[in-house]
Amino acid sequence: MSQTVDSESNEAVETAPQGPEARPRRPVVRVVGWTLALVALVGLVTAGVIGLRSMNRVRNAEDAIASASTLLEGAEEDLLIVDEAVQVEISSTVATQSVEAAELAVTVREDALAASEILADAMADLPEEIVPLAQALKESADARAEMMEIAPVILEADRQAAEAIPYADQAVIEIKGAEELSTQAVAEFNKHTSAGVKASGDYLAQAEAKLGVAQSLLTSATASFPGADYAAFGSYVEAKVGLIAMAKEIDALWLAGKVAESNTKLDAYNQRDAEIVVMAQALPASVRDPIADAYTAATTDASARYFEARERARAAGERVSELREADGEPD
């Protein structure tokens, strides 16, 4: 086997024995040329795939903004219900509203957290011009989540206060009723007749029963709102019960003909009655005051945090609206 040089191509070509089956081999350089062309084509395809993937990531990120917005908008109505319940004035009628709002707060918070997570995952793939909108939406979602985390603390205090108020109000009614009966008992005793003293005893028994009811109601008020301090009212009621016991003894001595002993007891009664009047003057102005004090202690910090988060949510919402308007999107 020998080699000759093709004068036209200057390429080394292998010569083989001539014959009907002899075929020249293709020059190696042409194979290399095809390979380079293939590499170039693969490069173009790869660049196209990468570009397509990049476009898909952007599109997915933009879709994420829409999904997050949908979550927040879908929870808006329930968020407003919770917000209204948080701000409503405490009364005996808001207990059910507070319970329902606290339940809503849980689901609204879940939606806000989900929206925040979606936005956080999408942020890196967003076009630069959309990032401010995504950031504002995320700030709104985070602020809403914080509001809904705090709201149940306030709403639980609302519920407790609402349940305690009727017990406290009724306790005052019973105490006043007992005081009126005690006044009637004194008037009957001062007639200094057997019938009058017996009538006095009947009034005292009724007054004592009302004070017993009042004690039970104060206990229920404290159980409904454990932070409410009704010790002063409780001490007053106990003192009134003790005064009635003294009045009963006076009536019994008088009916037994022991008038001197009855009068001696009456002096002690009058002194104790004056002391109880001083106790009454030292009581809170309203039977609801202990509830209000407990409510303030339970909610002061939570309320401050809630309204700070509420302001952040409001400000973020305004930025979202401004950015959408600037971009020509409907608000």
**pLDDT for 169-193, tens place per residue?**
999 999 999 999 999 999 999 999 9
Residue 235 lies in a domain: yes
Tokens of residue 202, six digits: 């009947």
Residue 9 lies in a domain: no
Confidence of residue 329 (pLDDT cuts 50, 70, 90): low
Residue 148 lies in a domain: yes
d(CA 218, CA 14): 116
Residue 4 lies in a domain: no
Residue 22 lies in a domain: no
Q: Name the E strands within the chain.
A: 2-5, 12-15
Q: Are residues 95 and 149 in the same domain?
A: yes
Q: Are residues 286 and 313 in the same domain?
A: no
Number of helices and strands in the chain (H, E):
8, 2
pLDDT at 88: 87
Domain range for 260: 163-294
What's the number of domains the chain is made of? 2
**pLDDT reading at 144 higher than 80:** yes
Domain with residue 119: its CATH number is 1.20.120
Query: pLDDT tens-digit profile of 282-292?
Result: 999 999 999 99
Residue 240 lies in a domain: yes
- DSSP-based three-state secondary structure for 13: strand
Q: Are residues 109 and 209 in the same domain?
A: no
On average, the pLDDT of the chain sits at 84
d(CA 151, CA 282): 35
pLDDT at 270: 95
pTM (2 decimals)? 0.75
Instruction: Give the mean model confidence (pLDDT) for residues 151-164.
Output: 95
Confidence of residue 31 (pLDDT cuts 50, 70, 90): very low
Query: pLDDT tens-digit profile of 311-321?
Result: 999 999 999 99
Residue 17 lies in a domain: no
Tokens of residue 244, six digits: 């009635």
Q: Are residues 149 and 177 in the same domain?
A: no
Which helix (H) or strand (E) is 92 found in, with range?
A: none
CA proximity to 137, closest of 314, 320, 315: 320
Q: Are residues 154 and 32 in the same domain?
A: yes
**pLDDT reading at 163 higher than 70:** yes
Q: Are residues 108 and 87 in the same domain?
A: yes
Residue 5 lies in a domain: no
| Percent of all residues in the chain with a pLDDT value above 90, rounded to a whole number | 69
